[in-house]
Amino acid sequence: SDPRFINKIIIITGAGGNFGCSGCLFFLRRGARIAALDVDQNTLNETLAELESIATEDSVIAEGTRIKGYICDVTNSSNVDAVVSSIVSDFGRIDMLWNNAGYQGQIKPTLEYDPADFARVMNINVTGMFIVLQSVAKQMSQQKADGETSHPYSIVNTASVAGLRGTPAMVAYSSSKAAVLAMTVSSAKDLAPHGIRVNAISPALIGPGFMWTRQNELHAASGSPYFASNAEDVAKAKIGGVPMKRLGSIEEVIKSVAYLLSDDSSYTTGTNLVIDGG
């Protein structure tokens, strides 16, 4: 376990996905108690089943720690408010939020991009992220107003280097992640007086695994002149452009999330931690 996270109540959205599932395991092993949220019942159940099977062999997880899954659509504010209330009645309070659910949208050049998909990406990645941030921050602020002093509140939003640099054939995703960065800075200012820190992470090339391979296949098929037409060449060119000449691991992403969620970063708010190998 880890004194930074023992008995901390952490909400993780997108818990059925790659980052979310690994994050649940990482923080459970460190003694946290997790509310795992996802809109997709199947992937959420897979995460919970995987953690349960590990828990039976892992005494650190089995002893005195707990995880609970909640089906939640981040774009639906009454759904989110109801889930936040359930979490408070199940766990007693909320200490930290990893605001991580996301949708990458189509991989198509700007001239061919479907405006309806653009709106969907913005709705999930921006409006949905805001709805969760606001609902959880209201709860945290109430806890502080009620006199809670021992729980410094912290929120981490998952952005992306796509929001800083603009990835070809991902105009909606890049726009949404740039908005996440602005949301992080602005909400950090509003929430500082309430004792809540808000920061972002911006991962770049993370893998290996299904997401990395699939992404390269989609880029190869996108028709964009910035990508080779076969996935292996796309992968080579991407890694060739990284100063450290390798992919980042999910563990490296989550260690950055842990830094920003924990008191290790107690004087840091409104910042963006880039995880991109240079």
- β-partners of residue 274 are 202
Under DSSP, is residue 71 helix (H, G, I), strand (E, B) or coil? strand
Peptide bond just before 208 cis, omega within 30 deg: yes
Q: Of residues 160-179, which lie at the interface with ligand NAD (CB under 6 A)?
A: 160
* Residue whose beta carbon is closest to ligand NAD: 17
Least distance to ligand NAD, CB of residue 196, Å: 20
Q: Burial level of 59, CB count in 10 A (0-12/13-18/19+)?
A: exposed
- Residues 22-61 touching ligand NAD, rule: CB under 6 A, are 38-40, 43
Size of the site for ligand NAD (CB under 6 A): 27
Minimal distance, residue 229 CB to ligand NAD, in Å: 22
Per CB under 6 A, does 103 bind ligand NAD?
Answer: yes
3-state class (DSSP) for residue 216 = helix
101 binds ligand NAD (CB under 6 A): yes
Q: Is 73 in the site for ligand NAD (CB under 6 A)?
A: yes
Task: Tell which positions 6-25 bind ligand NAD, by CB under 6 A.
Answer: 13-14, 16-20
Site string for ligand NAD, 186-225 (x = CB under 6 A): -----------------x--x----x--------------
Q: Does 124 bind ligand NAD (CB under 6 A)?
A: yes
**Structure token pair of residue 85:** 């209330």
- Residue 105: closest CA among 177, 17, 39, 170: 170
Q: How far separated are the first and last CA of the chain, in Å rounded? A: 31
Instruction: Work out how close the CB of 277 gets to ligand NAD at its nearest, in angstroms, rounded to a whole number.
Output: 12
* Distance from C-alpha of 228 to C-alpha of 224, rounded to nearest angstrom: 8
Task: Specify the residue, 143 or 258, whose C-beta has the smaller distance to ligand NAD.
Answer: 258
Q: Give min distance, CB of 145 to ligand NAD, in A.
A: 28
Rule CB under 6 A: is residue 102 a binding residue for ligand NAD?
Answer: yes
Q: At which residue do the structure tokens 């992404």 appear?
A: 215
> What is d(CA 98, CA 154) in angstroms, rounded to the nearest whole number?
9
> 195 in the Ramachandran plot: left (φ > 0), alpha (ψ -120 to 50) or beta?
left
Residues in the site for ligand NAD, rule: CB under 6 A? 13-14, 16-20, 38-40, 43, 72-75, 100-104, 124, 128, 158, 160, 203, 206, 211
